[in-house]
Amino acid sequence: MTKLTRRKMRDLVIAGDDMGPMMEKIFQGSCRYIDSKTYISDLTGGFYIYSRLKKKEVKTMETKTTSDKANAKADSNLKQVKIYIDMQWKGSLKKGSAVYSIVLETTLKGRTYTAVHHGEVVNTTQNRAILHISRIALSHLRGNYNLEIHAASGYLAGGFNLCRFQSAAEREYQATKNADLIDKLLKTAAGHAIRIVPEQHHAYTDWMRKERKKGQKGESDPKMWEKTIDDKR
């Protein structure tokens, strides 16, 4: 049991579906959030929150299992591919559209190779847009890779780096926003080792934005531009 200040309790209740990250922060990242229920106390006239959290196992060099070592070795043997995403949002918190660019970068025999894709997602939210875009990026890959995805999204970083998407899947997406797109993304991501680098500006940002302007003016190959309508929000 953990006692919290009134302010912290209020913040947790208001957070609703987003309570998970706050709970994990309270326990300094040592626990993985599962779910919560809020109860009203007839005795005190107040309320309390019952949360289920699973303690993260801290593994040292001595306690690592054979399976852990095998998985780490498998990940290191995967060929590395870097994915760079730039997304520009236009709209409100509830609804809007996003234009985006994707660059897939890999190195072979000392030479760097890239593939480029541009597009837009309409009738969506910012979080749903980045889920759509990430799935589109992964759909261009054939085989399994060690992926480093550069994208200005704390939502995406928390989903993969802190395993929040996988945790949501394990509890069958109960009270999870954007469950449909998270599930599609996880299925597309199966077999890859993924790490998100949440940065606002990366090596291709400026170039991507110039190329998108050309595309919007009809100066670039229309086959490189994809329009996605988010009709399930």
| Number of neighbours of residue 20 by Cβ within 10 angstroms | 23
Grouped pLDDT means (10 residues each) for the chain, 233 residues: 64 68 64 63 54 54 50 70 97 93 94 94 96 97 96 96 93 94 97 95 96 72 72 66
Structure tokens at 191: 């077999």
**Rounded CA gap, 82 and 147, in Å?**
6
| Number of neighbours of residue 175 by Cβ within 10 angstroms | 13
pLDDT given at position 93: 83
pLDDT given at position 143: 93
73-229 belongs to CATH 3.30.420.10: yes
pLDDT given at position 230: 84
- The whole-model pTM stands at 0.68
Tokens 């229920």 belong to residue: 37
User: CA separation (Å) from 80 to 30, 39, 55, 77, 231?
Assistant: 29, 48, 31, 9, 34
Residue ranges covered by each domain of the chain: 6-55, 73-229
pLDDT given at position 132: 98
Are the C-beta atoms of residues 182 and 176 closer than 8 Å to each other? yes
3-state DSSP call for residue 115?
strand
pLDDT given at position 213: 87
Q: What is the DSSP string of 46-75?
A: -EEEEEEEEEPP---TTT--HHHHHHHHHH
**Rounded CA gap, 167 and 179, in Å?**
12
